[in-house]
Structure 1
């Protein structure tokens, strides 16, 4: 299908203007309704297409897909079938949902559910989680605050995608509340740490990709091969306790300041849906080593925003950024992750790190927006913030748009609750 035909596609399912989920998107998620078992679905307009129901009606028989992958409570078995199956299934879904095709439309009441009436679940079983640090603007901002302008970037930063291995068990789906964490903090001017709940709670605006294959121990993935192993992307909120993080991160990096919770959007948008939005990333200087070099456009124009909503108040958009600002792209991240022979598994999650732009209103964390608490962030209704307060809700959204077509991720929305008392 050429790009013109792709942009003109319409569905028999009503898709409101400015919806994140036109027929060109078709992101995957796991949903349940009225206490039913969680199962795979596709977002289309304001509805969810029940893949289990469609499979039982025989519409996927020609694809020779084991019908039991549509009975699972996670997408891992479906994803594990590989890219040729992803492509064939997407083609079939577009055919079934296209305007003028009455076959599935006549059974709409059997296969469609309203998103507003469904419960969304974590879409994949996440085996391992890696968090990169791939925005030059973010790394520079943090470096200036902590080490001064002359030492903003560490010597290795422009030679490799810096990352740390995080905690997969505390990654939760949008709508799951997060409690303020407790830990050791070194108060300003003090020589000894104290134990208390964090007073510098923050979000980090990130995207994450989900791997779609298993590799053998010792196998490396090249930048040219990387996208064969990437199923799709989600919006990722990497909650951060900055005061805990600052005390603990030397010499081995983040630990308790990060692992208490990360939130993701429920819908996985495939790379196929994002294909029209490919762009060139930032120029990399100095030249990277051969294994990190790549051909073509490996970044995507994905507009990002963060809104902050105090309890009982309106939301205020406090950040607008873009995925294309990342210095290190996903292909380079995956190539570096595996260059030493580290194996990956279906459902592994690789987060981008905070995505900041050059302008202050594009900084992807409150640490940057308030410049370490020195500047005030003004909200609608007259409230102000430097860091998050209890019962604040953080909402992140992402979408690509071109020639009137919008491919969106929905949102990841979570409320910060007070620390649990002992």
Structure 2
């Protein structure tokens, strides 16, 4: 994935990217040392989790500080542009500058004032945005006045907050959303290839179920009715998920309380949230976190079935487990990240693609492995600890992983903060060398 992210112009390796690469190298080095020593104690697992949450805190603080500095710089530039444009040295009403007749020039031929090369263009864009906002406010005021007149004419229908009219409006919004999602984006989409079209067509039932249980309050995906129904039906999916994890089952009273609470929350969203402007920020954050947890359960269920299918393939074809984990399982787990990061790099977001190459595996290495080890708490709390053995293929993978991170940092420092395209081939060389050496260990 990292090699695919290197485009023709290379990748700008700023401080943030160096931080992410360094964190990944530190995490891999710590886990490598922990497994190499042969025993893992409870304090080692706690240190893994603290290391990741410390990294997240560092990222949040540094990004907030960076955005604050950028906002201050933009404000200073805006004030500078405004002061220059408002200065009396340039008369906005004059179409020409009074010079000698032979040197008289038109206003459009004058260069932009110092301090902002495109200041006039920026001001025109701002003015158009202000005009659009004014028009939206005017239209919103007209619609509200029309609604108030309708309320005055039909008081019996609009004074009931939980009326059938409100429910029918929500169902109409839901129908429009699924028409756009299924018919326009999939069935009638001419931009999809035949393979993509058939795959998405088979995925329609799962898409419908997923939309009905995962609330997404993001600005680009906001739909009031869809969020309300997904909040209402999400406990049904959670009960199914917990039933596959718990042997004793779930208390019926807890199930009833969860379903009633979720339906009440969904009805509250339909009643009080605006269908155009979106949810209030504080409620949107809570809803987004809840949707993230529901999405995580989907990932867990799908990954569990994927592992079972791969194990079945390995048994039928008599492929050793280390080879399956090193090739098919690793590729299957990474194909989503590979396509996403490659698409980001092709769209000019190579920095984001590079950051995702390291931030995601750092989470898997520290948090995923950490919580997995916590299931063996009794062994971790013992004096001997949890005994582990480092396989030769795993040791080879850690060595190449840490070497790759160090090579990326050294390359960026040597080339002045740029990772050139040639280094992408170096990344691929490291990977194929790792595969060949691991195959030799298995023979």
Per the shorter chain, which TM-score range? under 0.3
Q: TM-score, normalised by structure 2?
A: 0.20
Structure number with the higher strand fraction is 1
Q: TM-score, normalised by structure 1?
A: 0.21
Q: Larger relative CO (CA 8 A, sep 6+): 1 or 2?
A: 2
Structure number with the higher helix fraction is 2
